[in-house]
């Protein structure tokens, strides 16, 4: 299948590591030019180097996406280098604590919402005018099944991602007339750096054996009996950005191994 992505331009937030980096490499393999966004300059440099080592083209797009003025500056920089932005992947997120809601700090909740929800809205606000002018664009938001079915110890994170789900559906209705597709990818458990850090902390708290038993219990909740990998998410992002996916918009695609089969 010809995805017709060669020479497109993709801005991917939070792509200095983990799922974002994997998405960047997957796009680059299709000939897409990559703008690597993160707050971590070291991570950006590593992703840019990885894309270039694989024969792709990448540039740094460092900024704090909670700062709208900085986001506008970043978008202008990318457009000056590449001429346009065809694909925006809103991937950046933070999960500060894995605690019951009443144990969380209000300031941590505030930060999670700013990065996940406002960050997504800021980047979309800055990129959409160019897409509208060119009458073409793809916006992909990375959410979570925790926001769709509920997840204890992730109330703040889930609430922020739930806002992104609503935003995805609403903005898709506004910009569809401009030939712009807006969709979200909703992973279940995925072996990202965020999840690996949670597992590390779990092992410290309850020990290696109990942590391993818990992990096996988690896998049994998935029809495919496996936890997702970053490339499972990346493959979905590449497809939703492609020409064969041109008639898909306003959708929340669960990539979750059958954890939750939502209608």
Delimit the domains of the chain by residue range. 9-189+229-255
Residues 28-68 pLDDT 10s: 999 999 999 999 999 999 999 999 999 999 999 999 999 99
Lowest mean pLDDT among 35-44, 152-161, 211-220, 227-236: 211-220
Would you name the residues annotated as active-site residues? 157
> Domain 9-189+229-255: which topology?
Rossmann fold (3.40.50)
Asked whether the CA dihedral 52, 124, 95, 152 is positive or negative, the reply is: negative
Say if CB 139 and CB 178 are below 8 A apart: no
Mean pLDDT score, 73-95? 97
What strands, in cross-sheet order, belong to the sheet with 9-12?
58-60, 33-36, 9-12, 87-90, 137-142, 180-187, 252-255
pLDDT for 154 equals 84
DSSP H helical ranges for 54-182: 68-82, 106-113, 119-134, 146-149, 155-175
């Amino acid at each position: 299948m010809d995805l017709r992505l060669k020479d497109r331009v993709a801005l991917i937030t939070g792509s200095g590591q983990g799922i974002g980096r994997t998405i960047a490499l997957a796009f680059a393999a299709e000939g897409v030019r990559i703008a690597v966004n993160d707050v971590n300059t070291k991570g950006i440099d590593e992703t840019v180097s990885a894309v270039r080592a694989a024969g792709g083209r990448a540039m740094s797009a460092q900024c704090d996406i909670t700062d709208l003025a900085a986001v506008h500056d970043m978008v202008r920089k990318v457009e000056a280098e590449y001429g346009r932005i065809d694909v925006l992947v809103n991937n950046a997120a933070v999960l500060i604590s894995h605690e019951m809601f009443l144990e969380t700090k209000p300031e941590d909740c505030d930060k999670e919402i700013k990065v996940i929800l406002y960050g997504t809205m800021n980047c979309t606000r800055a990129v959409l005018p160019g897409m509208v002018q060119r009458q073409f664009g793809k916006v992909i938001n990375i959410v979570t099944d925790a926001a769709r079915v509920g997840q204890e110890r992730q109330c703040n994170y889930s609430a922020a991602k739930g806002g992104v789900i609503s935003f995805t559906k609403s903005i898709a209705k506004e910009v569809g007339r401009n030939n712009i597709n807006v969709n979200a990818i909703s992973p279940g458990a995925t072996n990202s750096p965020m999840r690996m850090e949670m597992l590390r902390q779990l092992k410290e708290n309850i020990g290696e054996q109990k942590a391993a038993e818990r992990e096996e219990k988690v896998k049994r909740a998935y029809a495919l009996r496996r936890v997702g990998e970053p490339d499972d998410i990346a493959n979905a992002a590449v497809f939703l950005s492609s020409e064969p996916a041109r008639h898909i918009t306003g959708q929340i695609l669960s990539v979750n191994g059958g954890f939750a089969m939502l209608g």
